[in-house]
Structure 1
Amino acid sequence: MPPPPSKWKGRCELNGTACNNKLIAMNGTQNVPPIDEDGHGTHTSSTAAGAFVDYAEVLGNAKGTATGMAPLSHVAMYRVCFGDPCPEADILAALDAAVEDGVDIISISLGLSEPPPFYNDSTAIGAFAAIQKGIFVSCAGGNLGPSNSTIVNGAPWILTVGASTIDRTIVATAKLGNGEEFDGESVFQPSSFPSTLLPLAYAGKNGNQQSAVCANRSLSDTDFRGKVVLCERGGGIARIAKGDEVKRAGGAAMILMNDEISGFSLSADAHALPATHVSYAAGLKIKGYINSTATPTATILFKGTIIGNSLAPAVTSFSSRGPNLPSPGILKPDIIGPGSSILAAWPFPLDNSTDSKSTFNIMSGTSMACPHLSGIAALLKSSHPDWSPAAIKSAIMTSADTLNLEHTPIVDERNQPADLFATGSGHVNPSRANDPGLVYDIEPDDYIPYLCGLGYSNREIGYLAQRTIKCSETSSIPEAQLNYPSFSIALGSSQTFTRTVTNVGEAYSSYDVMVTAPEGVSVTIQPNKLNFSEINQKETYSVAFSRTDSADKTADYAQGSLAWVSAKHIVRSPILVKFV
């Protein structure tokens, strides 16, 4: 690795060899050393920018060469969490430090449980300062899905990232005494576990809900010793902790069944005992089998790493959903990226590991999805150093995939087509983002009329802008008038909005508009053709929305899209309409 660029002002708070040309800064707050005692920061930073490592694996699975999204990037780490919750003041202090140090990309894999107004959100405030310096900011959207209105970090100057599955599974199959088999997942795959059937028991057979979810010290060793134990998701208890309880009670193995809202969304975990994580539908059938016989039996067949899940990418159950409560007129999440069962660096050995030098773990969360997008943003910044944060964001959004590997619409945890509150613009496609054709650019000052339009006071906007603002002296615009790469419209009477696109493709190019109108909505574009004769040329178009007689009077929302199509590019924007 070459040394950091001359603009770099950061420092390493640890003495000795902790920092190098790859890891160029480690900084803490509250006089606490910037050591990762949890693993989360190591995992996320290596996902964004980890170097190539051959022979990576976790407990013998997911073998291959590991690399971050931007393996030649430098990394600066700022520790802000010292327990839960992470102090807001420390988050803002770290963001200010990163801006002052001269970073190009900020990746934030943390967030509040409920989104405050932007002027009262340290991440939004710090990110606004960053984008004014040309620094791109990517944030995790939260892990409170699949319920709607759970998305966090939803300011329009932030790339808000949801989580998707990948096409790799680490298969552990629950085999029942009646011959039925249900594929699940687990990272821990002991070769010594017998394929012979063992007694099978439901953890909640005594009617105690705490036992059903395998809460700490809820299981009796006399009831479960030597058995395969069926546990339910939920109860605020981590998946691995449920296995710990089964192991404490002498259980031989665990089948972990999803709760109903988690559906078919699975995670591969490094469990403390032989285990598999199966869907809610599979869990119901396993329960039915247990109730059908006096002597239920089961085992787990460990089948290892399998590539090629054709339903990938799918939206994970935990990925937070819109609407974006602080600003419903900005569709969030912006994008989804890999966030389920992600292999990345880990600072200490795992339980069950026979290799004390094992330096990888598999984790799930929008925390894992965010650094994928942060690293991709770093690649785009390197490829297009003159692009603004908004231009990079637009390129990522308008080039996103809306189909899975089966070439059918991306599904959610129910295996049903996912809506825009789950996917935003779709799943990131890095190579297409590098050549998007057109971008929707936004200058930092363009957000001021938008913030005035939200009804924020001059003082509240001043908190964000870090300068005196007078809305009476600037224009005020509705949310949907911001030059955003997506549309989120509250539609009663007819409305018209404008957008301006900048040509970053071929100098001489022509684009025709293609509209998939939301059901019950008429969408009219003027003009319907855009012609360009030079790079960075800007063209403006208008979009008129009105309700039609065919509108479903019972529907709350409808969705569609518009796309500008040339011989080489498709520049797509999702449209979400709320009927009011």
Structure 2
Amino acid sequence: MPPPPAKWKGKCELKEACNNKVIGARNLVASGESPADDEGHGTHTASTAAGSAVQGANALGQGWGTASGMAPMAHLAIYKVCGEQGCPDSAILGAIDAAVGDGVDVLSLSLGGDSAPFYEDGIAIGAFGAIKKGVLVSCAAGNNGPTTGSLSNEAPWILTVGASTVDRQMGSTVLLGNKKEMDGQTLFQPKDYPSKMLPLVYAGSSANSSGVYCAPGSLNKLDVKGKMVVCEMGGEIKRLDKGIEVKSNGGAAMILINNVANGFTTLADAHELPASHVSYEAGLAIKAYMNSTSSPTASIMFKGTVIGKQDAPQVASFSSRGPSQASPGIMKPDVIGPGVSTLAAWPVPLENINNASGPIFNMISGTSMACPHLSGIVALVRSAHPDWSPAAIKSAIMTTTHITDEQGLIADMFDMGSGHVNPAGASNPGLIYDIQPDDYVPYLCGLGYTNAQVSTIVQKKVECSSNQSISETQLNYPSFVLQLGSQPLTFTRTVTNVGKANSVYKVEVYAPNGVEVKVEPKEIVFNTLNDKANYSVTFSVKNGTSQRFVQGSLFWVADGYSVKSPFGIIVD
């Protein structure tokens, strides 16, 4: 690693650990205390964003390969903002201000709170200060999915990141006594696990009402010794704690079944006993089998690392969904990226490691894991285009995404935003939708905020009466969300050519049934780089539609480029 850049002004409060990779470490939540990570979340996310390449990386023997952060040659500065009392706004704002002052180029925040007006949202306020200095802030969308409108970090100047699955699983297949097999996942895969069938018991049979979730202390009076125990997701009980409860009562193994909200998303966790996490559909089949016989049995077959699942990427069930509550006319999340069973660095040994030596890795899941994937990609795009604004970088990521899985299936835009990140495309998007910090002022005034509230966000005095307010959909955002009645609605966008000089872009529109979408002009000619051009989009109801919500996309297509803007329409 090269030494820190000349512009770096930060400091390290963890001197024995700082080097040319980790160039800064500060504790903003407890002054004078160490910024060291003793829990794992910060180490995992930091290494995902910018960890150096490590050969032979694995977690409990799974996922073998070379592990690397998204931007392996980037420097890391760590700012600790969470402690025993949570993550106070004062620490978050202090860290953002400190990081920007220290000279960072990208901020990655794998944290967030409930939806709030932007003037009451510490992260939104801090992130606005960052973009004024040219620093884009990438934030986790939250883990409250699949509930509608459950997002965190909704401000349009933030890159809001949802989580997707990948095509890799740590396979563990449940074999039932009726010979049916149910595929699942687990990180802990004991090599000496016997293949014999075990008695199968449903934790919901416990007299304790929380037994179905294998809550701590709930299985004391249920005979689980030497048996395979079926536990259900939920109950506000951590997945690993469910296995601990089974093991502490003598259970030999666990099947963890999803509830309907978790659907098909299964996770490779470092359980403390043999286990398999299976889908809701598989769980129904398992319970039906148990109800069909007086002596149900099952075994688990551990299959190691399995590559090539065709139903990936999928939006993870837990990934928070739109629409935005704070600003419904802005599409959120912005993008999705890998956030399920992510392998990255870990600061402490896992439970099932004996005499660990060398680097330790773990697999965990969440939008916290997706966020640093995008943060690293932001760093790569910024390195390639140091003169681009935060909004330009964000636009490049959003307009170049993939919108289908390996089977060609598409998700709802309020689940996936603009789509799944395409790192290679983001560095060469062709066109960008740029927004300068002052452009957000009329948008904020249009939200109905007072002068004082807008001034709090933009950190300068604002008089909304002297600024022409605009609606949310009038912001030069790379997507559209609108409420459409009997009257047509027209919006204007400005695009900047960052692809090739002397290029011609033609529009392609994929409109839903019952809605007409007209774009003018239908062709844009650019003579030089950095030329700007305007176009207008008119949406109107055509012959009515029975659907309350419809979605589509428009593309500007040129040689080697396809610049996508999704739109979502609520039909009155």
The bucket for the TM-score relative to the shorter chain is: over 0.9
Runs of 4+ off more than 2 Å: 206-209
**Is residue 2:526 matched to residue 1:532?**
yes
Residue deviations 1:253-287 (CA, integer Å, cap 9, x gap): 00000001111111000001000000111111111
Task: Specify the SS of the correspondent of 1:209.
Answer: coil
Counterpart residue number, 1:490: 483
Of 533, 543, 551, which aligns to 1:549?
543
Amino acid at match of 2:548: D
Amino acid at match of 2:545: A
Counterpart residue number, 2:501: 507
Distance in 2 (alpha carbons) for counterparts of 1:355 and 1:557: 56
1:34-433 maps to which residues of 2 (within 5 A)? 34-83=35-84, 85-112=86-113, 114-206=114-206, 208-220=208-220, 223-357=223-357, 358-406=359-407, 408-410=408-410, 418-433=411-426
Judged with a 3 Å threshold, the aligned counterparts in structure 2 of structure 1 residues 355 and 538 are, in CA distance, closer, same or farther, namely farther
Task: Specify the SS of the correspondent of 2:144.
Answer: coil
Amino acid at match of 1:527: P
**Is residue 2:440 matched to residue 1:455?**
no
- Report deviation, 1:375: 0.1
Task: Specify the SS of the correspondent of 1:223.
Answer: coil
Counterpart residue number, 1:476: 469
Q: TM-score, normalised by structure 1?
A: 0.97
- Report deviation, 1:354: 2.5
Judged with a 3 Å threshold, the aligned counterparts in structure 2 of structure 1 residues 326 and 177 are, in CA distance, closer, same or farther, namely same
1:518/1:561 contact within 8 Å kept: no
Task: Specify the SS of the correspondent of 1:190.
Answer: coil
What's the RMSD between the two structures over aligned residues?
1.0
Judged with a 3 Å threshold, the aligned counterparts in structure 2 of structure 1 residues 84 and 267 are, in CA distance, closer, same or farther, namely farther
Residue deviations 1:141-173 (CA, integer Å, cap 9, x gap): 000000100011010000000000011100001
Counterpart residue number, 2:17: 18
Residue deviations 1:286-319 (CA, integer Å, cap 9, x gap): 1111111111111111010011011111100000
Distance in 2 (alpha carbons) for counterparts of 1:65 and 1:572: 33
Judged with a 3 Å threshold, the aligned counterparts in structure 2 of structure 1 residues 556 and 550 are, in CA distance, closer, same or farther, namely closer
1:176/1:297 contact within 8 Å kept: yes
Amino acid at match of 1:24: I
Distance in 2 (alpha carbons) for counterparts of 1:172 and 1:68: 27
Distance in 2 (alpha carbons) for counterparts of 1:561 and 1:210: 46
- Report deviation, 1:103: 0.4
Counterpart residue number, 1:414: none
2:206/2:222 contact within 8 Å kept: no
Of 423, 435, 454, which aligns to 2:428?
435
- Report deviation, 1:324: 0.3
2:205/2:222 contact within 8 Å kept: no
Judged with a 3 Å threshold, the aligned counterparts in structure 2 of structure 1 residues 536 and 344 are, in CA distance, closer, same or farther, namely same
- Report deviation, 1:556: 2.3
Amino acid at match of 2:393: I
Task: Specify the SS of the correspondent of 1:217.
Answer: coil
Task: Specify the SS of the correspondent of 2:505.
Answer: strand
Distance in 2 (alpha carbons) for counterparts of 1:85 and 1:188: 30
Distance in 2 (alpha carbons) for counterparts of 1:512 and 1:449: 30
Amino acid at match of 2:75: H
- Report deviation, 1:561: 0.6
Amino acid at match of 2:125: I
1:221/1:249 contact within 8 Å kept: no
Distance in 2 (alpha carbons) for counterparts of 1:385 and 1:477: 30
Amino acid at match of 2:105: D
Fraction of identical pairs, as percent: 57
- Report deviation, 1:84: 5.2
Distance in 2 (alpha carbons) for counterparts of 1:338 and 1:86: 24
Counterpart residue number, 1:27: 26
Distance in 1 (alpha carbons) for counterparts of 2:104 and 2:222: 58
Counterpart residue number, 1:560: 552
1:556/1:578 contact within 8 Å kept: yes
Unaligned runs of 5+ in 2: none
Distance in 2 (alpha carbons) for counterparts of 1:350 and 1:49: 22
Distance in 2 (alpha carbons) for counterparts of 1:185 and 1:345: 20
1:518/1:575 contact within 8 Å kept: no
2:206/2:218 contact within 8 Å kept: no
Counterpart residue number, 1:446: 439
Task: Specify the SS of the correspondent of 1:260.
Answer: coil
Distance in 1 (alpha carbons) for counterparts of 2:472 and 2:165: 31
Distance in 2 (alpha carbons) for counterparts of 1:423 and 1:133: 29
- Report deviation, 1:4: 1.1
Amino acid at match of 2:344: A
Residue deviations 1:56-94 (CA, integer Å, cap 9, x gap): 000000000000000000000000000353111111111
1:401/1:428 contact within 8 Å kept: yes
Distance in 2 (alpha carbons) for counterparts of 1:221 and 1:323: 45
Q: TM-score, normalised by structure 2?
A: 0.98
Amino acid at match of 1:266: T
Judged with a 3 Å threshold, the aligned counterparts in structure 2 of structure 1 residues 158 and 538 are, in CA distance, closer, same or farther, namely same
Unaligned runs of 5+ in 1: 411-417
Counterpart residue number, 1:415: none
Q: More deviation in 1-10 or 245-254? A: 1-10
**Is residue 2:567 matched to residue 1:575?**
yes
Distance in 1 (alpha carbons) for counterparts of 2:295 and 2:521: 71
Amino acid at match of 1:247: K
Distance in 2 (alpha carbons) for counterparts of 1:142 and 1:518: 29
Distance in 1 (alpha carbons) for counterparts of 2:207 and 2:344: 40
Distance in 2 (alpha carbons) for counterparts of 1:94 and 1:452: 28
1:221/1:250 contact within 8 Å kept: no
Amino acid at match of 2:444: L
Judged with a 3 Å threshold, the aligned counterparts in structure 2 of structure 1 residues 438 and 222 are, in CA distance, closer, same or farther, namely closer
Task: Specify the SS of the correspondent of 2:37.
Answer: coil
Distance in 2 (alpha carbons) for counterparts of 1:543 and 1:184: 46
Task: Specify the SS of the correspondent of 1:245.
Answer: helix
- Report deviation, 1:535: 0.2
Amino acid at match of 2:343: L
Distance in 2 (alpha carbons) for counterparts of 1:355 and 1:336: 37
Counterpart residue number, 1:413: none
